[in-house]
Amino acid sequence: MSKKPKVLIALRTKRDITPWAVGRQLIDAQVAAHPLLAPEYVSNLPDICRQRLTDWALAEQVWSTQRRMATEDGAVRERQDNFAWKRRKRIAHLSFLSHAFVNLQGKLVPGAVTAYATPHPDVDWWTLFLQWCQICPPQLAVLHHFTLPELADHQAGAESFQAGSLGAWYAPHFQNAAWAMYFGEGMAQHVDAPALQAAGFLVDAMPDGYLVRITPDLADVARDYAAFAERRAELKQHFPPGFFPMGDVPELLP
């Protein structure tokens, strides 16, 4: 995985996000955050996102692609395939999603939306994150700016955190505290909103949970990472031991 600074958005959702209207809203929210986030390519595979986006009809066609699954009794059923959209020029990003589906054991596998983007001071990342959480109400979600000190971290879980991993499908969890986090279904009960607010953290009540920010501005992470990491360590004290498996101040680790 690239060790260049990046902005990460990742969310996990049980909601049905299969309609193309959802995909269009996600992309429109990016473009509203900054016109230079408009995608140039689309695909069903994030690792091979090379089909030039010529019009929205093409995007909808790729979005609607069906994937075949063989059942245990030999039958074949279909589910909607993954979708990826990418920009190589400034501001470069790769965004992709998978849809929730019921697996062969009859269990609901949640959907996921992830974006890696080149940091840019003119992008309203917070509003974009908020809008994505409104479009795809998540179980949990993160927004974070990874800078060089954190990208050099080698403790257990660091690579998963940097990749936007939110744990196993049936046991979601945060690897580490991100600058902004959404605590939704199954996670909101861990948030002591009055205590966090009294400690100076920003907490916004949502219909099914909370949005928590460690500092007022995402730029604080890059502006003074050591200060941000200390505030993150303070935030972790308001959660059960082990809730965030990673250590508190990565740049101080051997």
Task: Report yes or no on 86 lying in a domain.
Answer: yes
Q: How many CB atoms lie within 10 A of CB 4?
A: 12
What does the pLDDT look like over 28-44, one tens digit per residue?
Answer: 999 999 999 999 999 99
Among 238, 217, 102, 216, CA closest to 170 = 102
Q: What is the DSSP string of 226-242?
A: HHHHHHHHHHHTTS-TT
pLDDT of residue 164: 92
Q: What is the DSSP string of 33-88?
A: H-GGG--SEEES-GGG--EE---HHHHHHHHT-EEEEE-TTS-EEEEEPPEEEEE-
Q: What are the structure tokens assigned to 210, written together?
A: 């909370």
Task: Report yes or no on 18 lying in a domain.
Answer: yes
Q: Are 108 and 100 in contact (CB under 8 A)?
A: yes
Q: Are 117 and 93 in contact (CB under 8 A)?
A: yes
Looking at the 3D structure of the chain, how many domains does it have? 1
Contacts of 150 (CB under 8 A, 6+ apart): 158, 162, 225, 250, 251
What does the pLDDT look like over 222-253, one tens digit per residue?
Answer: 999 999 999 999 999 999 999 999 876 554 44
Q: What is the chain's Cα-based Rg?
A: 18
Task: Report yes or no on 73 lying in a domain.
Answer: no
Which residue's entry shows tokens 């990418």?
86
The span from the CA of 25 to the CA of 227, in Å, is 35
Q: Can you give the length of the chain in residues?
A: 254
The span from the CA of 34 to the CA of 91, in Å, is 9
Task: Report yes or no on 108 lying in a domain.
Answer: yes
Which residue's entry shows tokens 């990208």?
151
pLDDT of residue 72: 63
**Residue 159: its H or E element:** helix 158-163
**Residue 141: its H or E element:** strand 140-146
What does the pLDDT look like over 199-221, one tens digit per residue?
Answer: 999 999 998 999 999 999 999 99
Task: Report yes or no on 1 lying in a domain.
Answer: no
Task: Provide the residue range defining the domain that includes 63.
Answer: 6-68+78-252
Q: Which of 46-55, 93-102, 153-162 has the lowest mean pLDDT?
A: 153-162
